[in-house]
Chains A and B, each alone.
Chain A
């Protein structure tokens, strides 16, 4: 199945793209998607998405079709869904 992944702020800048389409096996989860992204973009995903002990970084929000998925990476994905990796930002 195809999933559209959108990147924001620092991760978008690091990757140089604001979105891309990712092919995943049917019934894949958010965890599967993140692992696929890690294969595709090892340096950026390591730096901006995961902690040293392989947890989701505290400043990364995952949204599926504009709905916050919380920190449960077992959330199942469906064909044509859009996943946003939103890196939180602040002021200044």
Chain B
């Protein structure tokens, strides 16, 4: 599904980039044009924890031009089972600084803007305005709904990644074309707990899928999860894709499709 953003392939690939990304440039429908689109694109990843670490790492590996990472706090022991941009040596130090260091080790050409705070009312407009695509990896539903409100206002696509125990949820929101988060849950769920059971392999899997969604949106190939919710249960390896519907009374997005 096409997104609403202008196409940009202004920056050409260097010979080093052609060599680095050769294997993915061979992908049908992607090619050099897709790679140039990645190079010219910026992605906001909100929190680089279990989900966001892997999203950012895969996007850096794929040759995205710019990453904007928003995540407050310092690395804790309990981060290290899943937050793969954090290291034991980084305990007690800034999470986003650790993330930047690891990402630049992988891809020194990457532009990274780090913001050592979580998405909030004060920074959300500016953060979203700098990105072509948002990948929502936040643990708090208040943050998710705030991002949702802003991507609707700025008509930016957003990939929404989530996990619990051995299960994952993933969808892509294209304002004006798909349901938004508020259509699915107009307010934060009452029973959600900030800390919950999960394996790093589970968050890593949905992080990879989320990164691939962002790549498809930017490079304009394949079929995204726009209007669909993909669920995986790794306990018995059940994979499902459900169609989701817009709330015709959604205060945020219903007017975009009338």
Contacts and interface: CB of A to CB of B under 8 A. Distances in A.
B188 A70 contact: no
B243 A92 contact: no
A91 B188 contact: no
Contacts, number: 105
Interface residues of B, number: 46
B88 interface: no
B172 interface: no
B195 A58 contact: no
Contacts of A89: 162-164, 167, 169, 192, 196
B167 A88 contact: no
Interface in A1-36: 8-10, 13, 18
Nearest to B143: A90
B139 A8 contact: no
Contacts of B222: none
A59 B165 contact: no
Interface stretch (B3-11, B17-25, B28-36, B179-187): B179-187
B72 to A, nearest CB: 13
Contact of A63 (B194, B242, B247): B242
B141 interface: yes
A59 B237 CA distance: 24
B244 A68 contact: yes
> Taking each of B164, B243, B245, which has the highest tally of chain A beta carbons within 10 Å of its own beta carbon?
B164
Interface string B127-140: 00000000011111
B230 to A, nearest CB: 11
Interface in A71-92: 71, 84, 86-92
Nearest to B248: A70
Contact of A90 (B140, B190, B236, B247): B140
A54 to B, nearest CB: 14
B49 interface: yes
A48 B191 contact: yes
Nearest to B244: A68
Given A90-B139, A91-B138, A92-B139, A68 B47 contact: no
A13 B50 CA distance: 21
Contacts of B203: 91-92
Contact of B186 (A51, A58, A84): A58
Contacts of B137: 91
A87 B189 contact: yes
B165 A13 contact: yes
Contacts of A67: 242-243, 245
A63 B240 CA distance: 12
Given A59-B185, A92-B196, 13 more contacts: A10-B164, A51-B190, A58-B189, A59-B191, A66-B240, A68-B243, A89-B192, A90-B138, A90-B162, A91-B139, A92-B47, A92-B49, A92-B51
14 contacts: A9-B164, A59-B185, A59-B191, A61-B185, A61-B244, A66-B243, A67-B243, A68-B184, A90-B144, A91-B47, A91-B51, A91-B52, A91-B161, A92-B49
Interface of B: 47, 49-52, 136-141, 144, 161-165, 167, 169, 179, 184-192, 194-196, 198, 203, 229, 231, 233, 235-236, 240-245, 247
